[in-house]
């Protein structure tokens, strides 16, 4: 069961991080080539909804399998005095970064996306400023870099936890 849980955990991490790289590197920059605002908005809405569903499923899976890994796989001697080992520092850093990541994801979904949608609607009905919409999209794009870095950091800390010759060292 431990190996299966780890396999699912790693797969969920790949499902969370991989599409972020694709969105940042290819999908969003490609959308800049679309001049038709309605087409651009509709296309990005479909991609964002599907990405959001994948990300939500991945986050829940990571949380469940991560808890299982901690309580079932991590040795008792580590859990009983977690701060006496490098594992504790890495684990606490990973959990903090994971919590920050979840907050950033919600901020992006509920602040940036809603603002962009409202600005896009205003541009489409003729009352909005296309430059303001472009600036909002660029801020969202830069914020997504922060999301990607937080995701990668969480992934790297998880890898460090899995290296027991490194993480199980007593402090």
Do the Cβ atoms of 153 and 97 come closer than 8 Å? yes
What is the predicted pLDDT for the residue at 20? 95
Phi-psi map region of 66: left, alpha, beta (phi>0 left; psi -120 to 50 alpha): alpha
- Residue 170's CB is within 10 A of a number of other CB atoms, namely 10
* Cα→Cα distances 82→74, 85, 90, 91, 115, Å: 10, 6, 10, 9, 43
Q: What residues contact 140, with CB distance under 8 A and at least 6 apart?
A: 108, 112, 113, 116
Instruction: Quote the pTM value.
Output: 0.90
Instruction: Pick the closest to residue 158 from 66, 73, 84, 82 (CA basis).
Output: 66
Instruction: Pick the closest to residue 41 from 98, 120, 115 (CA basis).
Output: 120
Looking up tokens 């969920």 gives 12
- Cα 51 off chain centre by: 10
What is the predicted pLDDT for the residue at 1? 86
Domains of the chain, by residue range, sit at 2-167
* Cα→Cα distances 61→5, 69, 70, 162, Å: 10, 12, 14, 18
What is the predicted pLDDT for the residue at 96? 97
What is the predicted pLDDT for the residue at 35? 95
Please give the chain's pLDDT, 171 residues, in tens: 889 999 999 999 999 999 999 999 999 999 999 999 999 999 999 999 999 999 999 999 999 999 999 999 999 999 999 999 999 999 999 999 999 999 999 999 999 999 999 999 999 999 999 999 999 999 999 999 999 999 999 999 999 999 999 999 999
- Cα 52 off chain centre by: 10
What is the predicted pLDDT for the residue at 101? 95
């Amino acid at each position: 069961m431990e190996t299966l849980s780890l396999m699912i955990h790693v797969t969920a991490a790949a499902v969370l991080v991989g599409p972020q790289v694709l969105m940042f590197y290819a999908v969003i920059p490609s959308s800049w080539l679309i001049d038709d605002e309605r087409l651009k908005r509709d296309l990005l809405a479909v991609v964002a909804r599907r990405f959001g569903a994948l990300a939500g499923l991945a986050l829940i899976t990571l949380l469940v399998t991560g808890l299982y890994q901690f309580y079932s796989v991590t040795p008792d001697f580590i859990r009983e005095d977690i701060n006496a080992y490098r594992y504790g520092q890495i684990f606490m850093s990973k959990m903090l970064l994971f919590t920050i990541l979840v907050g950033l994801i919600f901020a992006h979904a509920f602040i940036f996306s809603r603002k962009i949608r409202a600005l896009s609607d205003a541009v489409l009905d003729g009352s909005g400023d296309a430059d303001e919409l472009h600036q909002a999209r660029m801020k969202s794009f830069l914020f997504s870099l922060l999301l990607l870095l937080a995701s990668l950091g969480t992934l790297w800390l998880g890898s460090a936890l899995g290296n027991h010759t490194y993480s199980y060292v007593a402090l």
